[in-house]
C-alpha cells in the first residue's frame, strides 16, 4: 500500500496560485503571442490589435504578468509613454507548457465542458 503524506506539499499551493493567475481573462493569449515572437519586443498597440480585448483588460493583464515576473516591460520615448513587452526567463520557461495545452486542444479537437 502507498503511504500518502498527511501534509500537503507546499508546491501544490504555488501551482494553485499559478493556475489562478493563468486563468485570468486574456492572460494565456498574451503569453502565447509573446512566445510565438521569440526575442522580439511587442508593443501594447500590437498586442491589442491581435487580441479581442479592451485596453483596460490588456493593461491589467500586462501589469499582472510584469508583477509576477513572467514578462518584462521596456519603456521608451518621452515620459516613458511607449511600452514594449517580451517574455522573461521565467515566462520563457513556462511558455512550452502553455503551447502544449494549446496544441493538445487543436490536435485532439477537444471541447472542454
Summarize pLDDT for 88-107 with one digit per residue, the tens: 999 999 999 998 988 998 89
Specify the CATH number for the domain of residue 70: 1.10.10.10
- pLDDT for residue 6: 66
Residue 85 corresponds to which cell in the numbers above? 513587452
Owning domain of residue 87: 25-96
Residue 87 corresponds to which cell in the numbers above? 517574455
Alpha helices in the chain (DSSP H): 10-22, 27-35, 44-50, 55-67, 89-108
* Residues 57 and 36: beta-carbon distance below 8 Å: no
Summarize pLDDT for 14-37 with one digit per residue, the tens: 999 999 999 999 999 999 999 998
Total domains present in the chain? 1
Q: How far is 8 from 31, CA to CA, in rounded Å?
A: 29
102 in a domain, yes or no? no
109 in a domain, yes or no? no
Amino acid at each position: 500500500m502507498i503511504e500518502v503524506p498527511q501534509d500537503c506539499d507546499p508546491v501544490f499551493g504555488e501551482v494553485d496560485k499559478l493556475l489562478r493567475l493563468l486563468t485570468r481573462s486574456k492572460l494565456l493569449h498574451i503569453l502565447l503571442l509573446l512566445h510565438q515572437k521569440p526575442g522580439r519586443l511587442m508593443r501594447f498597440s500590437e498586442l491589442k490589435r491581435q487580441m479581442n480585448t479592451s485596453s483596460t483588460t490588456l493593461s491589467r493583464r500586462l501589469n499582472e504578468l510584469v508583477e509576477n515576473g513572467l514578462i518584462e516591460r521596456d519603456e521608451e520615448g518621452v515620459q516613458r509613454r511607449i511600452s514594449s513587452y517580451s517574455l522573461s526567463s521565467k515566462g520563457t520557461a513556462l511558455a512550452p507548457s502553455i503551447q502544449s495545452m494549446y496544441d493538445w486542444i487543436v490536435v485532439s479537437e477537444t471541447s472542454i465542458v
